[in-house]
Amino acid sequence: MIDKTSPLPLYYQIEEAIKQKIDKGEWESGSMISSEREFAEKYEVSRMTVRQAINNLVNDGYLTRRKGKGTFVSGKKIEQKLLGLTSFTEDMKARGYKPASKLVSFQTIKANHQLAKALEILQNEEVYEIKRVRLANEVPMAIETTVVPVKLIDLKEIHIKEGSLYSQVENAGYYIDFANQSLEASIAREAESEILEIAKGAPVLLIQRQTYLTTGKPLEVVHSVYRGDRYKFMIDMKR
């Protein structure tokens, strides 16, 4: 299992062994792996060597440590990777604007055909629809609509107002598996142009994101409309 005579470092061999188990799906997202001491005993190496292997996997996003509890297989994170493009709050702060988010509406509606298909639920099933306006220095910059199936999770408006949807999802025991996102230029429709205070037909950026859970089911569909005249996506590569 581990070859002590190999020129490959021990920690690296352990790292690969663990990574394989995860990639093959033998160890599922959210499940606890052996403790550091157990690994050390099993592979007949010191605990620090096991820690080095695990550290690398934590850095690569494969594992998550919880002090006092253990080490767990990560749900695949999207937040960091999306950040560069979609974390409006961070983005605005970095540019010296005051970001704000206004909850426009929070309601349960019945899924139409398109939504039902995207979320893999039946037509007319209930979904939460969360509409927010994103502001920079009080100026509306984008409309963001998030849709989540009701049967998946019990959402409270109060929590939406302050915290992250994703933390509520993890509390409910779900883990995000992957997401895909698309971005395209388009033209403002009437309802959007009013909220964004731009002319109908003005250029806008559409961003759509679909997020999937480890269960294989979709968690959410997010639809964002950014005004094209004021909002520039800036991506700084300064380190």
Partner DNA sequence: TATGACTAGTTGTCTATACCAGTCAGAAAA
Partner DNA sequence: TTTTCTGACTGGTATAGACAACTAGTCATA
Residues 10-49 that bind its own copies (CB under 8 A): none
What is the distance between the alpha carbons of residues 140 and 82, in angstroms, rounded to a whole number?
Answer: 21
Residue 109 interaction partner, one of DNA, its own copies, none, beta carbon < 5-8 Å per kind: none
What is the distance between the alpha carbons of residues 8 and 5, in angstroms, rounded to a whole number?
Answer: 8
Q: Does 84 bind its own copies (CB under 8 A)?
A: yes
Nearest to 13 by CA among 24, 2, 4: 2
Q: Which of 13, 71, 74, 224 binds its own copies (CB under 8 A)?
A: 74
Nearest to 136 by CA among 109, 174, 96: 96
Q: Is 93 left (phi over 0), alpha (psi -120 to 50) or beta?
A: alpha
189 near 201, Cβ under 8 Å?
A: no
Residue 77 interaction partner, one of DNA, its own copies, none, beta carbon < 5-8 Å per kind: its own copies
Closer CB to its own copies, 35 or 55, in the complex: 55
Q: Does 114 bind its own copies (CB under 8 A)?
A: no
Residue 35 interaction partner, one of DNA, its own copies, none, beta carbon < 5-8 Å per kind: DNA
Retrieve residue 14's tokens: 């352990």
Which residues bind to its own copies, rule: CB under 8 A? 55, 59, 61-62, 74, 76-78, 81-82, 84-85, 178-187, 203-205, 226, 228-229, 231-239
